[in-house]
């Protein structure tokens, strides 16, 4: 297959209406923290078991087009000895891979961060691709405060995101471009909107300069929302309208799909916001999800590391995947939260 044919085939699957992406690519320290919060011991085997629970949930392939894996999981196998990438492909789900190497201090800023991992990226991508990965993820992070994000952080993160995306496309890998504006803090939704617009402009400006073909990327942004500690809580419609307003101003229609991160919103909020956006009338892009916590929280808590809970844990994941799939089509209602949804 040519590079363009590979990119086309991957993006067409990822942009399928009513399907989203499961982010199951928590680094070992991150998943360990999440496991600890619900009393699960973190070992290579418990992480493997948990990821198998997610990926083998019966019927989840109706709602999930791709799963982002951490390197450890890409190399692991199911109980039956089938490598995870192959398991996903057999279910019609595309395997993806987190390729950034985390955050470090951005010199000459006050506590701002830059994402590292460009060195050796082409070689790593070639290896991941040989193991089945079709798409990749790179996360840049911006914190909101009175003086951040700075112009330096906005420009440098955009540049690095664009370099990563260009390297991916050269290898036939669809890049997920993830600029995450953190929900931490007491900022208002208006402040979040004021920050998000220049961040996204800078990202698309850099993607253009680096000749990234927008037709073959997934944008994974945060929603425009008030900070967690802000006393003025924005309504579901305010979040939906502000988010779509900023995206319309900054994201060209050539981008096929925008898949949000959940960023610390509750599972129900993440679903309600996505649904409200998809009810706003014509949008030039597919608007869907690429959640980690909002898809996994109930599943992880229900499993609690116990084999006897696996079926209930899968039912919890199935329900969130299904409701978010409906939200990606604007067909979700709050009443559905109360309904029993069985995975079969
Ligand atoms: P959350 O949905 O938990 O924010 O995670 C998405 C993600 O992949 C962060 O990089």
C-alpha pair distances (Å), 108 with each of 76, 97, 115, 152: 40, 31, 15, 9
Distance 154 CA to ligand 1 centre (A): 20
- Our mutation pick for probing the ligand 1 site, out of 20, 268, 290, 327, counting the most ligand atoms within 8 A of Cβ, is 290
pLDDT at 315: 98
For CA atoms 196, 198, 201, 206, the dihedral sign is negative
Residue 3 CA to its chain's centroid (Å): 24
Q: Which residues contact 14 (CB under 8 A, 6 or more apart)?
A: 21, 65, 66, 94, 135, 174, 218, 256, 257, 259
Residue 245, Cβ neighbours under 10 Å: how many? 15
The residues annotated with a catalytic role in the active site are: 178, 220
Distance 292 CA to ligand 1 centre (A): 5
Tens-digit pLDDT string for the chain (344 aa): 999 999 999 999 999 999 999 999 999 999 999 999 999 999 999 999 999 999 999 999 999 999 999 999 999 999 999 999 999 999 999 999 999 999 999 999 999 999 999 999 999 999 999 999 999 999 999 999 999 999 999 999 999 999 999 999 999 999 999 999 999 999 999 999 999 999 999 999 999 999 999 999 999 999 999 999 999 999 999 999 999 999 999 999 999 999 999 999 999 999 999 999 999 999 999 999 999 999 999 999 999 999 999 999 999 999 999 999 999 999 999 999 999 887 65
- 139 sits in which H/E element: strand 135-142
pLDDT at 341: 81
The residues pairing with 98 across neighbouring beta strands, listed in sequence order, are: 137
Q: How far is the C-alpha of 240 from the C-alpha of 332, rounded, in Å?
A: 14
Please tell me if the CB atom of residue 289 comes closer than 6 angstroms to any atom of ligand 1: no
Please tell me if the CB atom of residue 263 comes closer than 6 angstroms to any atom of ligand 1: yes
The residues pairing with 83 across neighbouring beta strands, listed in sequence order, are: 77
The residues pairing with 21 across neighbouring beta strands, listed in sequence order, are: 66
Which atom of ligand 1 is found nearest the CA of 294? 2
> Terminus-to-terminus CA distance in the chain, angstroms?
35
Q: What residue owns the CA closest to ligand 1's atom 9?
A: 261
Domain boundaries, the chain: 3-337
- The secondary structure of residue 310, as a DSSP letter, is H
Which atom of ligand 1 is found nearest the CA of 293? 3
Under CATH, what is the fold of the domain 3-337?
A: TIM Barrel (3.20.20)
Are residues 92 and 48 in contact, defined by beta-carbon separation less than 8 angstroms? no
Pinpoint the alpha helices (H) of the chain: 3-14, 28-37, 44-55, 71-74, 84-90, 121-130, 151-170, 189-209, 236-250, 267-277, 293-303, 310-327
Distance 153 CA to ligand 1 centre (A): 20
pLDDT at 114: 98
**Among candidate residues 276, 61, 95, 241, the one with its CA nearest the CA of residue 176:** 95
Please tell me if the CB atom of residue 291 comes closer than 6 angstroms to any atom of ligand 1: yes
This prediction has a pTM of 0.98
Predicted confidence (pLDDT) per residue in 183-233, tens digit: 999 999 999 999 999 999 999 999 999 999 999 999 999 999 999 999 999
């Amino acid at each position: 297959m040519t590079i363009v044919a590979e990119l086309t085939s991957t993006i067409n699957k990822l942009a399928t209406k009513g399907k989203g992406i499961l982010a199951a690519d928590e680094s070992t320290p991150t998943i360990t923290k999440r496991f600890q919060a619900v009393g699960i011991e973190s070992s290579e085997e418990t992480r493997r078991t948990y990821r198998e629970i997610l990926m083998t949930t019966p019927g989840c392939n109706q709602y999930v087009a791709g799963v982002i894996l951490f390197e450890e999981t890409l190399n692991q196998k199911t109980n039956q000895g089938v490598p995870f990438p192959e398991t996903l492909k057999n279910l019609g789900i595309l395997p993806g891979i987190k390729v950034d190497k985390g955050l470090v201090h951005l010199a000459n800023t006050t506590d701002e961060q830059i994402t590292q991992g460009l060195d050796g990226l082409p070689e790593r991508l070639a290896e991941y691709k040989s193991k089945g990965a079709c798409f990749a993820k790179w996360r840049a992070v911006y914190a909101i405060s009175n003086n951040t994000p700075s112009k330096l952080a906005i420009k440098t993160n955009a540049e690095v995101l664009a370099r990563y995306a260009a390297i991916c496309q050269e290898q036939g890998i669809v890049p997920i471009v993830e600029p995450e504006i953190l929900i931490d803090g007491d900022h208002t939704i208006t402040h979040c909107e004021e920050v998000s617009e220049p961040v996204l402009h800078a990202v698309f400006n850099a993607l253009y300069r680096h000749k990234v073909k927008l037709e073959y990327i997934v944008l994974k942004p945060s929603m425009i929302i008030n900070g967690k500690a802000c006393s003025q809580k924005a309504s579901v419609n305010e979040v939906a309208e502000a988010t779509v307003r900023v995206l319309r101003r900054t994201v060209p229609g050539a981008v096929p799909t925008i898949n949000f991160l959940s960023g610390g919103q509750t599972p129900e909020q993440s679903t309600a916001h996505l649904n409200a956006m998809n009810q706003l009338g014509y949008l030039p892009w597919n608007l869907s999800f690429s959640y980690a916590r909002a898809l996994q929280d109930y599943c992880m808590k229900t499993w609690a590391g116990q084999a006897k809970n696996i079926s209930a844990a899968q039912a919890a994941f199935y329900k969130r995947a299904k409701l978010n799939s409906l939200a990606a089509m604007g067909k979700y209602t709050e009443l559905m939260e109360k309904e029993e949804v069985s995975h079969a």
